[in-house]
Structure 1
Amino acid sequence: MNYNINSLIPYIPTNEYDAVAEEFLHLYCEEALLRPMAIPIEHIAKNELGLDVKYIRLSEECDIYGMTIFSDGIVEVYDPAECLYDSKIFKRKTILIDPEAVKKTNLGCRNNTLAHECVHWYKHRLYYKMQSYTSTRQAKYCKCRVENLPNITEDENIMEAQARGIAPRILMPRATFIEAADQVGIKCKNENRDAIARLAKMFNVSRQSVRIRLNECGLL
């Protein structure tokens, strides 16, 4: 894996996203490379990566799915009881998931958000460790929003693209996903509504994620 020597962002071409997802699963859930299954992503986050997963409101508009915290410090979160934002101290290796934001979609969104944040910790923590030297009070973190952040930096844009691309590949690893698609009878150019629903249930992801993954694998 090559890194940008100045920023410590990993260089990951899109055609290597599947390989990175398989590398992750080989380390933390090798069984998923052998048979189709729902990835226990919260278990992996907590017990394999050692991350503290907390469910807390992150914004009034419910437009932030999750956040990964890379250094101890202050993070602004939303307090719905008081209808205002509050500054709280969090430890590094913490993932914050907004339950209301992910509830607006489905369980698959929560799992994808968890996988997304795991990718940030797995591949991007060196970048944020270097950034933490510039401020010891404010925590270094990345926010994952429903839509792109305004004023996002080029570095952040690269890392977001990597996490968005790799996360669903962790939840639906290529070889076993193709095997499962064959089992449920996915046919090219067919509507496949029932088969897609079965795949979504099998991998515990959204139907939209399944459709995208089927296209990526050349099955639709």
Structure 2
Amino acid sequence: MHLNKDLVPIIRKKDMDKEASQFLQKYCPEALEEPLPVPVEDIAELKMDLEIDYVNIDQDLDTLGMMIFSDGPVELYDQDTDQYIRRAYKRGTLLVESNLSETNRGRERFTITHEMVHWDKHQLRFMALSYKDKTLAKACRCPIAKVYRPKTAEDWLEWQADNLAAAILMPAEMFKQKAEELKSGYKVGEKINGFMWKGFNPGLIKEFIVDDLASTFQVSKQAVEIRLNTLDIQLV
């Protein structure tokens, strides 16, 4: 694995699927053989030896996940007291915003996978930071906002984790296979006039397929739509 001067892996966008396949070959090879929901919790806890803890991370829900890289206290929001508290954690703890499990299972799975990517790809950077300032190397806090044009080292970490998480949860070949399978089950109808169709209209077919893909891979519909665009898959 090649690193830049900031000890961030050099991973080009065109290589994301290759990197994701290597991750899955190591931790869940069956996901490369058939379309299925990648068992992210099992991979994290049973194969990567991480401990998942569901907590309130911050008051405004701006941070959905955090990967702990060194032992010590971490500042978290306490809903009961409406204050920030410091809680001790061990290295290798993966924190997930607990409100996610109540509202968005797809986003929760994406967050866990995102944090696993940090652990798998970015430990060297945090190890190096710990020699300069242990507080810098404590944890990687992951904001809800996505990074589309990375500039700083931290931006590149988040960009890589987001793109790799999507490629891991929706492996390219299996995602394409399932999309084609679903497409074959629908036929565009005929337009009767400006408002009515005899049979399915293209927009409705796309909506059905997106829903089915989200269910198959247990991700959000937004994640499916982004993945379709990334892989240049046309549904109708």
Structure 1 and Structure 2 fold alike (TM over 0.5): yes
Larger Rg belongs to: 2
Runs of at least 5 residues in structure 2 that lack an aligned partner in the other structure: 189-200
Question: For 1:56-101, what per-residue CA distance to the aligned partner results, in whole angstroms no more than 9, with x for missing partners?
Answer: 000111121000011111210011111100011111111100111x
* Partner in structure 1 of residue 224 of structure 2: 210
CA gap 1:60/1:80 in 2 versus in 1, 3 angstroms: same
Per the alignment, residue 12 of structure 1 pairs with 11
SS at match of 1:11: coil
2:192 alignment partner in structure 1: none
Whole-angstrom distance in 2 between the partners of 1:172 and 1:190: 23
- Alignment of 1:2 onto 2:13: no
Q: Are 2:188 and 1:190 equivalent residues in the alignment? A: no
RCO higher in structure (CA 8 A, sep ≥6) = 1
RMSD (CA atoms): 2.1
Give the TM-score normalised by the residue count of structure 2: 0.86
- Counterpart residue number, 2:77: 78
Query: Structure 1 185/155 Cα, relative in aligned 2: closer, same or farther at 3 Å?
Result: same
CA distance in 2, matches of 1:153, 1:126: 19
Which secondary structure state, in structure 2, belongs to the residue aligned with residue 113 of structure 1?
Answer: helix
Whole-Å separation in 1 of the counterparts to 2:146 and 2:158: 9
Corresponding residue number in structure 2 for 1:123: 121
Aligned length: 216
Residue in 2 that maps onto 1:50 = 49
Provide Cα deviations, 1:89-116, integer angstroms capped at 9, x if missing partner: 111111100111x257511000000010
| Aligned CA distance change for structure 1 residues 182 and 137 (closer, same or farther; 3 Å) | closer
Q: Percent identity, aligned pairs only?
A: 36
Task: Say if 1:109 and 1:205, in contact at 8 Å, map to a contact too.
Answer: yes
TM-score, scaled relative to structure 1: 0.92
Deviation of residue 190 (structure 1)? 3.3
Q: Which runs of 4+ in 1 moved over 6 A?
A: 186-189
**Contact 1:8–1:126, Cα closer than 8 Å, also in 2:** yes
Give the residue type in structure 2 aligned to 1:217: L
Residue type at the aligned position of 1:20: E
What residue ranges of structure 1 are gaps of 5+ in the alignment? Answer: none
Distance 1:94 1:129 in 2: 16
